Amino acid sequence: ATKGKLLILPGDGIGTEVMREVRRVIDWYAKKRGVEFALEDGLAGGASIDAHGVPLTDATMALAQEADAVLLGAVGGPKWDSLPFAVKPERGLLRLRKELGLFANLRPAMCFDALVDASTLKPEIVRGLDILIVRELTGGVYFGTPRGIETLPDGSRRGVNTQVYTTEEIRRVARVAFDIAAKRGRKVTSSEKANVMESGILWREEVTWVHDHEFKDIELSHMYADNCAMQLVRNPKQFDVIVTDNLFGDILSDAAAMLTGSLGMLPSASLGAADAKGKRKAMYEPVHGSAPDIAGKDMANPIATLLSFSMALRYSFDLGTEADLLDKAVENVLAGGLRTGDIMQPGMAKVSTSVMGESIVRALDKLAA
Ligand code: NAD
Ligand code: IPM
Ligand code: MN
């Protein structure tokens, strides 16, 4: 019997390259551990536009609805940048998130010991770092209306987006953050701009409400998002869990990525509401994009996507031991001195995407022996 349905959407650019390495690892689990999935493949983003004229077809959306987990590479690229907004690659990704109801995006930033010197920050600032950004993913300015570009009577134009949050949207993502904090450092920092935005005031009040009514014994503090960006590079280890809105979470997580050495290291899990059996819809993807500047060169770091698959094993398939194995294999390969270009350091061996993937499979072999 398989462990469940896994839909793989490699997407565009380096998305297809890093996903090839995940496939290698998936094959290894099937062959060596008897851990098998019912695999489906699909197109998303530019690849889907080229084949079907839309960034995500209804058929692929239906596959995602039926899957126990979706694994996505990355979408987008210069080839599709000048398309109308409604059919850009990125709209396909946003549709997946919205229609699957994936409101909680977990973006862990951990610094592997071997990469302490790969960060642009001083070693003592990042050594042992283990923080988690919980980004709200289906609301806020990404989806609020009114939105659009309109031409005014004088011929000039106006671009409009709207930041909206409701009580329930804030409370449900806050609960996810407190729940996870209870299993780690028991500290939540909520980040918004309550000093200039009404939606930020509501955010602060509702997160506080959830804390006071349901999670009194977790430490809660509030921090303006601009200060939070600064604190992340000044002293990131002060944080445990950060909970924030869709846009601030996007920005803060890219910043947090550099604490680990590279954007190519950061995985993510996007989760929906739990059903009666406690199962959640889920999509797993690296935090990085399609990296047009290095696409097609076998240079991309596949680790963010491999660690995203590890999160899928853990959160969607209850295979924590198997996930530990993959995390450990990544750690061992890094400790052994192999580096893709983005995390290259003096004295280390620079390897391609595929050699990194093969090496991680070999490390899995050793661990399982
Ligand atoms: P990007 O994340 O693709 O790249 C930013 C920089 O980081 C580039 O220099 C890139 O080479 C480097 N980088 C990223 N991932 C890497 C990896 N795995 N290994 C080594 N280096 C890596 O961001 P961008 O350039 O601003 O965006 C490019 C395209 O990707 C855009 O179309 C954007 O909309 C899209 N995008 C998609 C996603 C997604 O699918 N989830 C996320 C972010 C950006
Ligand atoms: C991310 C990306 C996406 C976002 C884009 C590609 C829609 O930057 O996943 O972080 O802004 O959420
Ligand atoms: Mn982003």
What residues have CB less than 8 Å from 62, skipping those under 6 apart? none
* CATH code for position 198: 3.40.718.10
Domain presence at residue 55: yes
154 is catalytic: no
Angstrom distances, CA of residue 324 to CA of 78, 174, 266, 315, 367: 37, 27, 16, 12, 11
Whether 241 and 359 share a structural domain: no
Ligand 2 centroid distance, CA of 89 (Å): 11
Find out whether the beta carbon of 342 lies less than 6 Å from any atom of ligand 1: yes
Domain presence at residue 328: yes
| Interval 25-43: pLDDT, tens | 999 999 999 999 999 999 9
Whether 310 and 235 share a structural domain: no
The reply to whether 79 sits in an annotated binding site is: yes
Determine the residue type at 247. Answer: L
| Interval 215-273: pLDDT, tens | 999 999 999 999 999 999 999 999 999 999 999 999 999 999 999 999 999 999 999 99
The pLDDT of residue 279 is: 92
- The whole domain housing 318 covers 1-107+266-369
Pairing label, strands 69-74, 187-192: unpaired
Flag whether pLDDT at 1 surpasses 90. Answer: no
142 is catalytic: yes
Q: Among 209, 240, 258, give the residue marking a domain's end.
A: 258
The reply to whether 113 sits in an annotated binding site is: no
**Total-model pTM:** 0.97
Domain presence at residue 52: yes
250 is catalytic: yes
Query: Mean pLDDT over residues 148-167, rounded?
Result: 98
The residue to mutate among 71, 102, 290, 307, having the most atoms of ligand 1 within 8 angstroms of its beta carbon, is 290
Whether 254 and 310 share a structural domain: no
| Count of domains observed in the chain | 2
Q: What is the ipTM of this complex?
A: 0.98
Whether 149 and 101 share a structural domain: no
Q: Among 258, 277, 298, give the residue marking a domain's end.
A: 258
The reply to whether 226 sits in an annotated binding site is: yes
Q: Which atom of ligand 1 is nearest to the CA of 11?
A: 40
318 is catalytic: no
Whether 149 and 211 share a structural domain: yes
